[in-house]
């Protein structure tokens, strides 16, 4: 409580900068999640398949979000703690490993920067409030899902399913949105894309999207309510279509090549979180 009172006493600019700094460190952790969670899932699935086949599972070294220590993928040298400082560590190394001078992907500082900037925007939008705490949790999960889906075309249940329940519990405890709205949002979010999936499959015989997309939209419905779903679907479809056309024009995406939809759902969800009521009000006012 004393910490919350101290945050309330901060000038708005100082508060936003403090949340942005916190976002940089969260972004550093998200880099670990983005890199390790798909590997953890692959190992888990391999172990489950081996168990079903009746094969003996070979022991292996622990691998999770905490261990082993972060290492250079090229030379295997452990990354020193001061090189893990968000943004500053990458800049001090000039984007190269301290031991073998292999380039460090720009992805790592980019995730940290995006998280810091987004947290600052949310702090500006919601101020020191319970809504800000929920928004930061949602934003962090959406950033992780965006980059994991871009890399692997996978939206892990380990993130999407807890995110659904977290949204429902958040509004149950806070009452910011009526529980009926967020329950309907979770149901409508899942069923809307589920219906599109089966309609497309019945017409073409092909799968147009994965089940992870259904769960992600259900999570957004659970956090933002059913009223935001039309805006999210419209924005994500528009941005996804424009990006796909641009990639095809640049010959970086072949016709028929799958395109991850999760990043566009996540981006649309963040827009709806920050500006959704204003956009919907503007549109309805125009009508």
- The answer to the question of residue 3 being in a domain is no
Range with the lowest mean pLDDT among 49-63, 76-90, 239-253?
Answer: 239-253
Answer whether residue 2 is part of any domain: no
Give me 40's structure tokens. Answer: 């953890």
Q: Which comes out higher in pLDDT, residue 112 or 261?
A: 112
- 96/173 same-domain check: no
Query: Does residue 5 form part of some domain?
Result: no
* pTM confidence score: 0.91
Whether residue 154 is found in the same domain as residue 277: yes
Report if residue 116 sits inside a domain.
yes
Residue 235 structural domain: 130-287
Residue 66: per-residue pLDDT: 84
For 1, the 3-state DSSP assignment is: coil
- The reply to whether 72 and 144 lie within a common domain is no
pLDDT digits (tens, 9 = 90+) for 122-158: 999 999 999 999 999 999 999 999 999 999 999 999 9
Q: For residue 69, is pLDDT > 60?
A: yes
Over range 25-34, report the average pLDDT. 95
How many Å apart are CA 218 and CA 216, to the nearest integer? 5
Q: Give 159-226 as a DSSP string.
A: HHHHHHHHHHHHHHHH-SS-HHHHHHHHHHHHHHHHHHHHHHHHHHSS--S-HHHHHHHHHHHHHH-G
Encode burial over 26-47: b for 16+ CB neighbours within 10 A, e otherwise. bbbbbbebbbbbeeebeeeeee
Q: What is the mean pLDDT of the chain?
A: 87
Q: Report whether 8 contacts 97 (CB < 8 A).
A: no
Residue written as token pair 């503007």? 282
Q: What is the CA radius of gyration of the chain?
A: 21
Mean pLDDT across 10-28: 93
Question: Do 122 and 144 lie in a common domain?
Answer: no
Indicate whether 153 belongs to any domain.
Answer: yes
Do 162 and 116 share a domain, yes or no?
Answer: no
The verdict on 137 and 96 lying in the same domain is no
Identify whether residues 19 and 89 lie together within a single domain.
yes
148 and 270, same structural domain? Answer: yes
Number of structural domains (the chain) is 2
Q: Does residue 24 sit in the same domain as residue 119?
A: yes
Q: Are 192 and 277 part of one and the same domain?
A: yes
Confirm if 258 and 213 have CB atoms less than 8 A apart: no
**Contact partners, residue 120, CB within 8 Å, separation at least 6:** 16, 17, 19, 20, 23
Last residue of a domain, one of 128, 146, 168: 128
Grouping H, G, I as helix, E, B as strand and the rest as coil, residue 96 is strand
- 17 and 156 housed in the same domain: no
Domain end, chosen from 85, 107, 128, is at 128
Residues 198 and 92 in one domain: no
174 inside domain: yes
Q: Is the pLDDT of residue 250 over 70?
A: no
1 located within any domain: no
């Amino acid at each position: 409580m004393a910490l919350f009172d101290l945050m309330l006493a901060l000038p708005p600019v100082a508060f936003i900068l403090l949340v942005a700094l916190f976002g940089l460190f969260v972004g550093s952790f998200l880099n670990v999640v983005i890199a390790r969670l798909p590997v953890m899932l692959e190992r888990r699935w391999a172990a489950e398949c081996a168990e079903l086949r009746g094969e003996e599972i070979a022991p292996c070294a622990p691998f999770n979000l905490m261990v082993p220590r972060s290492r250079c993928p090229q030379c295997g040298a452990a990354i020193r703690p001061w090189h893990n400082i968000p943004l500053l560590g990458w800049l001090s190394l000039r984007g190269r490993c301290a031991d073998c001078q292999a380039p460090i992907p720009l992805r790592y500082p980019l995730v940290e920067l995006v998280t810091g900037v987004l947290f600052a925007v949310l702090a500006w939008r919601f101020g020191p409030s319970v809504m800000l705490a929920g928004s930061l949790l949602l934003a962090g999960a959406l950033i992780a899902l965006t980059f994991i889906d871009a890399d692997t075309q996978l939206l892990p249940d380990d993130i999407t399913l807890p995110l659904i329940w977290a949204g429902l519990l958040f509004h149950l405890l806070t009452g910011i949105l009526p529980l009926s709205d967020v329950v309907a949002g979770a149901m409508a979010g899942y069923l809307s894309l589920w219906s599109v999936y089966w309609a497309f499959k019945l017409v073409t015989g092909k799968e147009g999207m994965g089940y992870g997309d259904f769960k992600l939209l259900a999570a957004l419905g659970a956090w933002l309510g059913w009223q935001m779903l039309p805006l999210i679907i419209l924005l994500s479809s528009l941005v996804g279509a424009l990006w796909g056309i641009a990639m095809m024009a640049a010959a970086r995406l072949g016709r028929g090549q799958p395109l991850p939809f999760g990043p566009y759902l996540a981006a649309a969800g963040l827009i709806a979180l920050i500006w959704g009521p204003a956009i919907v009000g503007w549109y309805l006012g125009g009508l």
